Amino acid sequence: MRQIRNFSIIAHIDHGKSTLADRLIQHAGMVEDRQFRDQILDNMDIERERGITIKSQTMVLPYTSRSGELFELNLIDTPGHADFSYEVSRALASCEGVLLLIDAAQGVQAQTIANLYAAMEHDLAIIPVINKIDLPSADIERVKDQIDHDLGLDSDTAILCSAKEGIGIEDVLEAVIEHVPPPSGDTEKPLSALIFDAHYDPFRGAVASCRIFDGSLVPGDIIRFMYTGATHKVEEVGVFHLSRVAQKKLSAGSVGYIIAGIKTVADIRIGDTITLDSNPVSTPQPGFKDVKPVVFSSIYPISSDDYPSLQDALDKYKLNDAALVYQKDSSVALGQGFRCGFLGLLHLDIVQERLEREFDQAIIMTAPSVQYKFTLEDGSKLTIENPQYYPEPTSIKQAMEPFIKAIIILPERYMGAVMKLCLERRGSNPRVVYPTPGRVEVTFDMPLAEVVFDFYDRLKTVTQGYGSFDYEITEYRESELVKLDILVNGERVDALSLIVHRERARDLGVQVCDRLKEEIPRHNFKIAIQGAIGGKVISRSTISPFRKDVTAKCYGGDISRKRKLLEKQKKGKKRMKMVGQVEIPQSAFVSVLKTRDE
Amino acid sequence: MNNGELPGLYIHTPFCRSKCIYCDFYSVASRTMVPAWLEAIRAEMKLYGKDFPVFDTLFLGGGTPSVLEERELALLFESIRKHFSFGPDAEMTMEANPESLSKEKLDAVARFGVNRMSLGVQSLDDTDLQYLGRAHDGARALRALRECREAGFGNVSVDLIYGLETQTLASWKKTLDLLLEFRPEHISCYELTFSPSTPLGKRKESGRVRPIGEKMEAAFFIWTSRYLKRHGYHHYEVSNFSLGQENMCRHNRKYWRHVPYLGLGPSAHSFAAGPGAQTRARRWWNVLSLREYCRLLGEGKAPVSGFEELTSEQFDLETLDLGLRTEEGVDIGFLEHFSKDQRVLALWRKSGLVRVSEGRVRPTRKGFLVADSLALMMSK
């Protein structure tokens, strides 16, 4: 056990986490240089494009230290976004130390701090690593200053590296050996293993990634999931190299996988504790949470014929993403679809993109909503995340909405713009800290509903890319809510309805009407768009008709040419949703809440 | 449909004195191949003589048929008469450009049976004509009109183009006013079209010319329709006006009503309705190259480059689209093929795009302007 190190890399988005991970793998001789594919750990297309890790992977790196000792370094990769903070926390609970990666040019950002707090919560050894030192804009002294003052760490221990250029990689590995303590644990005690990840293998079923704290595990053992109570017979245990490598045994201190005839990832709860059915531990590993979705949106097929195929795609997708929840939903405007719950906005984006790309689904997503809680006059309680089921307004005694603590880090010069943005979004109770000169850390209480749409984009815009943001959900608070309906040529479009705060209703009503005016193409008749609360119109816009589209000439007897053009246009129309006679493009449904850049 | 009506014959004369910048009909700016074309078209007539024995319209189009010399026209008509017959009161149209007309040519074609002259005037404003790359000026066009009347043509049609950058509503009115002194039996007013394959289309792409914009186009259209109506013209198709119902172009109406027609010459299109309800309507078209056309016919082959059979869906879509481009409109019952939903029709009527009379849904002026999208709205 003395030769084992379990560690993670944590970083703000884009600070180079995956590149460093790849370098460590390469340095450990796991891949030939010429086979070296950039960012091995991020092996989904979307991950590579966005430069973020969504699904974490774990790998064991054999490393011979400068002193000549052979070590087994378990790199536990973590997802790099607040939506997956629970998964991050379970991965961290499986480690003894972390590399806290900081971009030498950008310095400490909101997620750097959020990640640091998370690592401290687990009492982990923290090694600051300053990455991208090769950049012309790198300012190592400034970052060291931030490490001392913003983070309260010792900048003398910081490792300088450039993962991209392969500079300082060995220093990083040596620091892991030196500063991350070896795991403790007792192989003689009853088995206690923490599940920190799960993925789906079409041939073997769900595969659980876990950290063994005590005891050991061999194929043939009957294991029990302590939270779900389910038992399974272990078929295979092993460790992760570039692919899975089966082992005879997993013992206390190590990190590996278990295959036990488990059907789907939904049968495995991240954070659950595995023990032996015959000799169970008395208490599970701490920190288990039943993760609940916080953002909801409906997904509809563009063509109603594709409903079964969408159902099939969601079922398949769900095999590998336990966090997605969905149930049948229907809309007058959009037909049959699914109401889906997501961990956050990034999760929503990922599901949408993967359904479109990997499952070839043409879908419409409605504007995201959070979950509201209502107490009705008759005393009954109601939880609603779909505007369609908004209760009769006169029957509502009390309405509640979820609030977050939002942490924003920004250069001081953007303070005014950020304050304005947060106050517009009903932010309150601002707390401002100036950790280092020129930089501000500001914390707001905000309704989650105000950040589920384009808040991050807006923040990036008003801070010219320098602002960073992180949040955690805190509590439900009483709120004055109304349902905003949208009417297109007098017809209510249920899929466009929104639950909004009364004070924001007019602004949002105007915004939605304006957005739809931009999104819906002109027709040959006038289109009226209205926002209404309980039948009272609060906003409107009009799409004036186009005056002319006729082709002057039918080209003599060449009627086919005209018809072919028509057939082509007809095909294009299939990408639209018809509401009454109005063609509404796919993008309109989700973009209604997007604010325009001034 | 319309099987009772005799088919029409179209002959494509692929020669022009020069190419106009806006035109995307097939033609060559050289007369070198006229003899070869005459020989080839005679061979093509022979191929179809049996299937299309009788017509009741002839349309000699192009290109510019009037670039043909008298003796060439004589040879052409000799071939036509040899292979085909025409019903009584057949409408026989010939297209001509002012600069290539002469009293002698007009007398000759009248003798050959042409009873309707269609003049490519385009504009009577010299700035417009230069912009369009036309070979005549306004004065020559007016003289050609006079010559047509003097040669005894009681049915004259004039093609005009509007929507040019060089035009104002006032200058366009001047062209119409000068023209209306002749009271032509038929006027086609085409809005300038920027076909990508033409020099004008390329100039638009590179930003060297600009369309006048939707608002102005609509204004020109509505104004023209009203003005010509005030002068007794019947706006019977998007771009066509006739002095009374009797002067509508019988040949063109066949295209729009699924009446069969035979097109001869390079690039010409033909249409045949099925002989029975089981057989589908067919359309075929000739090669787009004069050389290829002559070569194929020289080898005794049909110069056809494409062929299609219309599905009933396609047939109906065309009926809808073509119908909604004409004052005749479409049968209200026919619309049920597309949608039993009465709301589309209600919306059209409310928006002033169509009116319903005698069981037919007819586009209004505003409706003509958006005719392309009307058909699209109704079709599934």
Q: B113 in helix, strand or coil?
A: coil
Q: Is the pLDDT of residue A476 over 50?
A: yes
CB of B65 within 8 Å of any CB in chain A? no
**Which of A523, A552, A556 is nearest residue B193 as measured by Cβ atoms?**
A552
Please give the CATH number for the structural domain made up of B8-255.
3.80.30.20
Residue in A with minimal Cα distance to B24: A555
Q: Is the pLDDT of residue A54 over 60?
A: no
CATH superfamily of A192-276: Translation factors (2.40.30.10)
Is A559 close to B217, i.e. CB distance below 8 A? Answer: no
Across the range B334-346, mean pLDDT stands at 84
User: What is the pLDDT confidence band of residue A51, given thresholds at 50, 70 and 90?
Assistant: very low
CB of A575 within 8 Å of any CB in chain B? no
CB of B325 within 8 Å of any CB in chain A? yes
Which residues is A537 bridged to in the sheet?
A: A532
What the block records as the tokens of A84 is 């997956």
Average pLDDT of chain B to the nearest whole number:
93
Taking one residue from A and the other from B, the number of pairs with CB-CB distance under 8 angstroms is 110
CB of B317 within 8 Å of any CB in chain A? yes
Best mutation site among B236, B372, B374 for testing chain A: the one with the most A CBs within 10 Å?
B372
Q: Do domains A295-365 and A482-591 have the same CATH topology?
A: yes
**Which of B343, B350, B372 is nearest residue A551 as measured by Cβ atoms?**
B372
Across the range A94-104, mean pLDDT stands at 95
Is A550 close to B368, i.e. CB distance below 8 A? Answer: yes
| pLDDT for the residue numbered B277 | 59
Amino acid (one-letter) located at A163 = A
Is A566 close to B375, i.e. CB distance below 8 A? Answer: yes
Residue in A with minimal Cα distance to B62: A556
Residue in B with minimal Cα distance to A551: B372
Cα A142 to Cα A130, A137, A230, A412, distances in angstroms: 11, 11, 52, 15
Instruction: Give the start-to-end residue ranges of the domains of chain B.
Output: 8-255, 328-378
Is A525 close to B308, i.e. CB distance below 8 A? Answer: no
Cβ atoms of residues A451 and A93 within 8 Å: no
Write out the E strands in chain B.
8-13, 54-62, 85-96, 116-122, 156-162, 186-191, 233-237, 240-243, 261-264, 269-272, 282-286, 304-309, 330-331, 354-357, 360-363
CB of A574 within 8 Å of any CB in chain B? no
Q: B79 in helix, strand or coil?
A: helix
Per CB-CB distance under 8 Å, the chain B contacts of A552 are 190-193, 238-239
Q: Is the pLDDT of residue A53 over 80?
A: no
Q: Which of A73-82, A154-163, B94-103, B117-126 has the lowest mean pLDDT?
A: A73-82
CB of A545 within 8 Å of any CB in chain B? yes
**Which of A545, A556, A563 is nearest residue B255 as measured by Cβ atoms?**
A556
Is A557 close to B350, i.e. CB distance below 8 A? Answer: no
> What is the percent of chain A with per-residue pLDDT over 70, rounded to a whole number?
94
In chain B, positions 147-166, which contact chain A (CB-CB < 8 Å)?
A: none
CA separation for the pair A157, A154 (Å, rounded): 6
Task: Tally DSSP H helices, then E strands, for chain A.
Answer: 13, 33
Of B351, B341, B350, B328, the C-alpha closest to B378 is B341
CB of B25 within 8 Å of any CB in chain A? yes
A16 preceded by cis ω (within 30°)? Answer: no
Please give the CATH number for the structural domain made up of A295-365.
3.30.70.870
How far is the alpha carbon of A557 from chain B, nearest alpha carbon, in Å? Answer: 5
Write out the E strands in A149-254.
159-160, 192-201, 205-214, 216-217, 222-225, 231-233, 236-240, 244-247, 250-251
CB of A557 within 8 Å of any CB in chain B? yes
Of B205, B184, B185, the C-alpha closest to B194 is B205
Buried b (16+ CB within 10 A) or exposed e, B74-101: ebbbebbeebbebeeebbbbbbbbbbbb
CB of A392 within 8 Å of any CB in chain B? no
Per CB-CB distance under 8 Å, the chain A contacts of B255 are 554, 556-557, 559
Q: A212 in helix, strand or coil?
A: strand
| pLDDT for the residue numbered A202 | 86
CB of A573 within 8 Å of any CB in chain B? yes
Q: Is the pLDDT of residue B29 over 70?
A: yes
In this prediction the ipTM stands at 0.90
| pLDDT for the residue numbered A282 | 92
CA separation for the pair B298, B301 (Å, rounded): 7
Q: What is the DSSP pairing of strand A205-214 with strand A527-533? A: unpaired
| pLDDT for the residue numbered A28 | 80
Q: Is the pLDDT of residue A515 over 50?
A: yes
Q: Is the pLDDT of residue B294 over 80?
A: yes
Residue in B with minimal Cα distance to A563: B318
CB of A526 within 8 Å of any CB in chain B? yes
User: What is the pLDDT confidence band of residue A303, given thresholds at 50, 70 and 90?
Assistant: confident
Q: A499 in helix, strand or coil?
A: strand
Contacts of residue B372, defined as CB under 8 A and 6 or more positions apart, other chains included, come to: A549, A550, A551, A566, A569, B321
Q: Is the pLDDT of residue A82 over 80?
A: no
Residue in B with minimal Cα distance to A565: B372
Across the range A382-411, mean pLDDT stands at 93
Across the range A341-350, mean pLDDT stands at 86
CB of A305 within 8 Å of any CB in chain B? no
| DSSP character string of A341-364 | EESSHHHHHHHHHHHHHTS---EE
| pLDDT for the residue numbered A33 | 56
State which CATH number among 3.30.70.2570, 3.90.105.10, 2.60.40.10, 3.40.50.720 fits the domain covering A482-591.
3.30.70.2570
Is A560 close to B238, i.e. CB distance below 8 A? Answer: no
User: What is the pLDDT confidence band of residue A52, given thresholds at 50, 70 and 90?
Assistant: very low
Of B22, B9, B113, B20, the C-alpha closest to B61 is B9
User: What is the pLDDT confidence band of residue A41, given thresholds at 50, 70 and 90?
Assistant: very low
| pLDDT for the residue numbered A1 | 76
CA separation for the pair A55, A200 (Å, rounded): 11
| pLDDT for the residue numbered A2 | 84
Length in residues, chain A: 598
CA separation for the pair A118, A151 (Å, rounded): 13
Q: Which of A109-113, A416-420, A475-479 has the lowest mean pLDDT?
A: A109-113
Is B351 close to A525, i.e. CB distance below 8 A? Answer: yes
Q: Is the pLDDT of residue A43 over 70?
A: no
Q: Is the pLDDT of residue A597 over 80?
A: no
CATH superfamily of A4-179: P-loop containing nucleotide triphosphate hydrolases (3.40.50.300)
| CB-CB neighbours of A379 under 10 Å | 7
| pLDDT for the residue numbered A430 | 93
Across the range A237-252, mean pLDDT stands at 91
Residue in A with minimal Cα distance to B190: A552
Per CB-CB distance under 8 Å, the chain B contacts of A562 are 318, 321
| pLDDT for the residue numbered B226 | 95
> What is the percent of chain A with per-residue pLDDT over 90, rounded to a whole number?
57
Contacts of residue A547, defined as CB under 8 A and 6 or more positions apart, other chains included, come to: B214, B215, B217, B218, B366, B369, B370
CA separation for the pair B331, B338 (Å, rounded): 12
Q: How far apart are the first and last CA of chain A?
A: 58
**Which of B25, B268, B370 is nearest residue A550 as measured by Cβ atoms?**
B370
Per CB-CB distance under 8 Å, the chain B contacts of A556 are 10, 25, 61, 255, 263, 268-269
Q: Is the pLDDT of residue A48 over 80?
A: no
**Which of B238, B263, B347 is nearest residue A525 as measured by Cβ atoms?**
B347
| CB-CB neighbours of A4 under 10 Å | 20
| pLDDT for the residue numbered B278 | 62
Best mutation site among B366, B376, B380 for testing chain A: the one with the most A CBs within 10 Å?
B376
Cα A433 to Cα A58, A149, A352, A408, A444, distances in angstroms: 36, 12, 37, 10, 12
CB of A117 within 8 Å of any CB in chain B? no
CB of A524 within 8 Å of any CB in chain B? yes
CA separation for the pair A261, A225 (Å, rounded): 13
CB of B236 within 8 Å of any CB in chain A? no
Rounded to the nearest 5°, which phi and psi values hold at A223? -105, 160
| pLDDT for the residue numbered A516 | 93
In CATH terms, the fold of domain A372-479 is Alpha-Beta Plaits (3.30.70)
Instruction: Give the start-to-end residue ranges of the domains of chain A.
Output: 4-179, 192-276, 295-365, 372-479, 482-591
pLDDT tens for each residue of B202-248: 999 999 988 999 989 999 999 999 999 999 999 999 999 999 999 99
What the block records as the tokens of B235 is 């706006």
